[in-house]
Structure 1
Amino acid sequence: MSRLARPAARLATGSNLLVRRLAARAATWCARGRRDDLTGWRAALGIVVRLALLLLGAYLLARIVRALPALMWLLSTGWTAAAWRAGRPAAEATEEEPEEAPAEAAPVLDREAVRTLLLEVMGDAPAVHLRTVLAHLQERGQWEGRTVGDLRAALEALEIPVQPKVKAPGGGPTRGVRRVDLTPSPADTQETSPAASTAA
């Protein structure tokens, strides 16, 4: 029984990971449909369209499988293989693919670099939503599979204030960062001034 328990647990773990990854990617893709240059329901219309496309794709796939039941064997085989790879134990993955270990590690963030990024995404606006920053990162191949909660935790670890309700282009009030919280305080300016004069 124990010989079957390990493969079954690996397949179950891998299937769970696949579902979470696909759901995160679908949510990210739908979120990118929001228009920052519009407000109200028009801004969210792109999200609704993309969600409808996903539902239509699922419906068409179900109709195709119903018309061609033999296709289910191919889909099941592909899913099982992907779940088996995704459910691989961490120790085994490290031994077989050591070059992929750095990609799985959490990135070390520099506060000044993150501050510059936030100001860049913010543009001329007084604030920026976390979901906008996350979409900006994921469009450039970063923070794939991560959530707004992960971004919030990373910013708070760098002592960058995250406000619960921020008004910014791209939707109603939600979690975000304000420009005023990113600008140096007068105390910081006074602390750096003597150092600069000494260096001169």
Structure 2
Amino acid sequence: MSRLARPANRLCTGSSILVRRLGARAAAWCARGRRDDLTGWRAALGILVRLALLALGAYLLARLVRALPALMWLLTTWWTAAAWRAGRPTTSEAEEAPEETPAAPAPALDPTAVRTLLLEVMGDAPAVHLRTVLAHLQERGQWEGRKVGDLRAALEALEIPHDRRVKVAGVPTWGVRRRDLDTPSPTVAQETSPTASTAA
């Protein structure tokens, strides 16, 4: 990421936050105009009046800026400063900031051990979601800080079949099916074939 990309991203994020905040405040202010002691259109009359006031305020501000173009510099400065403050990264985001540093590579995995682990987590079910497998690993202090995408990449490297349409409890997402694990992957077959030939 270039030097200008980071502050530009912060200003863009802050501007989006400001728009949402102002929109939410305007909506809440208009909603407070509803009368609970009335019914029908009379109850919503206060909301319509407040909407009209907001539209009138926007119109007057636009006319004022057209009459005094220099005022635009003041508004732009105010907006930029507010967006910069609103776009300040949170503590969790600041800790995750060094995205350029790749995660430590996963240790070499044994295909047979991985298949055994998948069947263990699967239990008696016909399939298991990868997020369940990842949670199982992380509960045991393994694969900390990694995501389902990392697990998918590891399975891909081991040529273990996995699919994004695996259903567990009616929910389809990335997972592994038992029937796919019953057939050894090419990696396992290549590892076992020399042993078989030697034994013969």
| TM-score calculated relative to the size of structure 2 | 0.45
Higher relative contact order (CA 8 A, sep 6+): 1
Bigger radius of gyration among the two = 2
Q: In proportion to residue count, which structure has more helix?
A: 1
| TM-score calculated relative to the size of structure 1 | 0.45
